[in-house]
Amino acid sequence: MHWVDWAIVVGFCAVSILIGLWRRRAAGQSLASYFLSNRTLGWWLAGTSIAATAFSSDTPLLITGMVRQRGIWAVWEVWALGISTMLTVFVFARLWKRADVVTEVELVELRYSGKAAAFLRGFKALYWGALYNCYIMGVWPIVGMTKVLQETTGLSRESAVIGSVLVGACYTSFSGLWGVVLTDAFQFVWAMAGAVILAVYAVHAVGGLEALSTQLRHTTFLAVLPPGPAGTDASFLSSPLGWFLGLVLVQWWAWKNSDGGGVVVQRLVSCRDERQAMLSVLWYNVAHYCLRSWPWVLTALASIILIPDHALLMPSNGSSFIDHERAYPRLITMLLPIGVRGVLVASFFAAFLSTISTQLNWGASYLLNDGYKRFLNRRASERHYLLVSRLLPFLLALGALGVAWVNRSIGASFTWILNLTAGIGPVYLLRWLWWRINPWSEIAAMTASLPMLLLRPHALRWLGWPQGLLIELLFMVGGTALVWLPVTLWTRPVESGTLARFYARVRPPGWWRAVARPPGQPPRYRRSIAQWLIGTFALLATTIGPLQLMVGPRGIGWWWCLSAALAWTVVLRSALRYRAADP
């Protein structure tokens, strides 16, 4: 890169660090300020922070790999998760806010009782906060940033990995959540601008939107919905359409974040009130699915024309493979002039830092609040806990670096994580809905998930079932349920007093009458379910409609956009009228 480009990148990183350190004094007042911003976040800042976290350096590369290998329809692996995140808007946002916990893991000892609950809390703090967190940081944002820096700057893999992580760990350690959310807002705007700029240059390089549509019209790349079985002997369940049904019918409720999960929960409980929490996730959905999808998809489609597959051959253990994910950063060096190239590389730093800083702060909150403070040192001063909190991000960063060192593929890791956590989601949903769920239910589901994943290919061959995502997901969900459901029924229920206190505090829907529901009118969630269904349609229509207006067919694109506008009218009217007294 030219020195002008480097100056832009360095300037951006300096501004990010200064913004992050600006609130370091406020973050150092207490653990509530360090991990929850004193529960004073508004919806826009909280929602933008979630969107910035999801807008990582790996995500455009992931989308590019999906589109180049299969077409637009492959992105449903990401879009389908919007069904569960919209459920969080209208149901779980208010429940998490009422729970008033510091972390998602703390809910364990609010919902359950006894030594099993204490064990589960400590186990989840270590499992999700350290092992899982280091893995996803290593295989997604760090690998993504490494590929970008290698393609655009020529830095060695070691320099790219270490330098990127150290910048994020430093300001995260000092500034806490206040610094994270403020830098997230700045970084999200910069990252979106970079994505749009590259999309414009890429589309212009192929001759415009009309030329892009014309050159790909007779291929499968422009299809929004996947094709069905090809040929008379093909199996529907193993076809792309069967894969799609697996996503929209099973995946969204089977994965671990079916009720919000981790980073989203941290932002929800940091909001001022229930209404701000609900609106924050609604804004996140719009920013995450609708705003950021179209520039990445357009850039990926243009890369199919501009970069042939053989140009992306990469060596691997004596052989070679086509690394489609590198097409996105390679367009930066191919198409962008001096100065603009620096803006794009800085936008990747924006996406990377927003994700890595959040993951480090979130993971540290688990290890401190639900591990160290809960089990190892319960009587230390606030100052001592803050000191430990500021050391933990560096330890997590080292773990993430170790994972990144041995990983190469973002897409394969994304699919593996979805498969591994499939089957845990039903228990996480039912703990809000059914009084009989106990800590052993979660322990059994988490323990069974990895063996089920490893046994799945052998079991499907032995049973003679066809291959396909729908069958694989149903096997994971059903196989895991065969473990956690008997364990639930064979073990002792949660103590009735604990259930009564949880119900009085959270007021969840579902089956609570037997032990916890007080006399009077039970909470009704029918309106919330209707809002969720309409909102999900509005979200997906807003994601698909603009894309079809750009690459065709435009008539269908206009239909999607009009339908989305009508649906959003209903959703926003009810969302803006929400009061904390509503069920």
150: left (phi over 0), alpha (psi -120 to 50) or beta: alpha
The pLDDT value given to residue 411: 65
What global pTM score does this model have?
A: 0.91
Computed on alpha carbons and rounded to an integer, the radius of gyration of the chain in Å comes to: 24
Cα–Cα distance between 236 and 202 in angstroms, integer? Answer: 36
What is the tens place of the pLDDT at every residue in 406-427?
766 666 677 777 778 888 999 9
Residue ranges making up the domain that contains 419: 3-24+40-576
Query: What is the DSSP annotation of 341-408?
Result: HHHHHHHHHHHHHHHHHHHHHHHHHHHIIIIIIIII-SS--HHHHHHHHHHHHHHHHHHHHHHHHT--
| Residue predicted with more confidence, 124 or 235 | 124
Alpha helices in 28-156 (DSSP H): 31-36, 43-54, 59-69, 76-79, 82-87, 93-99, 107-111, 114-126, 133-137, 143-153
When mean pLDDT is compared across 141-150, 209-218, 382-391, the lowest value belongs to 141-150
Answer whether residue 524 is part of any domain. Answer: yes
Q: How many domains does the chain have?
A: 1
The pLDDT value given to residue 1: 77
Name the range with the highest mean pLDDT among 141-145, 342-346, 490-494. 490-494
What is the tens place of the pLDDT at every residue in 426-478?
999 999 999 999 999 999 999 999 899 889 888 888 888 877 778 888 899 99
Answer whether residue 30 is part of any domain. Answer: no
Query: Is the per-residue pLDDT at 26 higher than 70?
Result: no
What is the average per-residue pLDDT within 140-147?
Answer: 78
Answer whether residue 31 is part of any domain. Answer: no
Answer whether residue 29 is part of any domain. Answer: no
When mean pLDDT is compared across 367-376, 380-389, 395-404, 563-572, the lowest value belongs to 395-404
Residue from 109, 82, 94, 127 nearest 431 by CA: 109
- Pairing status of strand 319-322 against strand 313-316: antiparallel
CATH of the domain at 71: 1.20.1730.10
What is the tens place of the pLDDT at every residue in 478-526?
999 999 999 999 999 999 999 999 998 998 988 887 675 555 555 567 8
Query: Is the per-residue pLDDT at 93 higher than 90?
Result: yes
- Contact by Cβ (8 Å): 120, 108: yes
Task: Extract the tokens encoding 290.
Answer: 């609708």
Answer whether residue 32 is part of any domain. Answer: no
Answer whether residue 581 is part of any domain. Answer: no
Cα–Cα distance between 506 and 432 in angstroms, integer? Answer: 9
Cα–Cα distance between 436 and 426 in angstroms, integer? Answer: 13
Residue from 43, 394, 349 nearest 183 by CA: 349
Answer whether residue 283 is part of any domain. Answer: yes
The pLDDT value given to residue 105: 95
Answer whether residue 210 is part of any domain. Answer: yes
Alpha helices in 406-468 (DSSP H): 410-421, 425-433, 439-463
Which stretch of DSSP H or E encloses residue 196? helix 157-205
What is the tens place of the pLDDT at every residue in 256-286?
899 998 889 999 999 999 999 999 999 999 9
Q: DSSP state, 423?
A: T
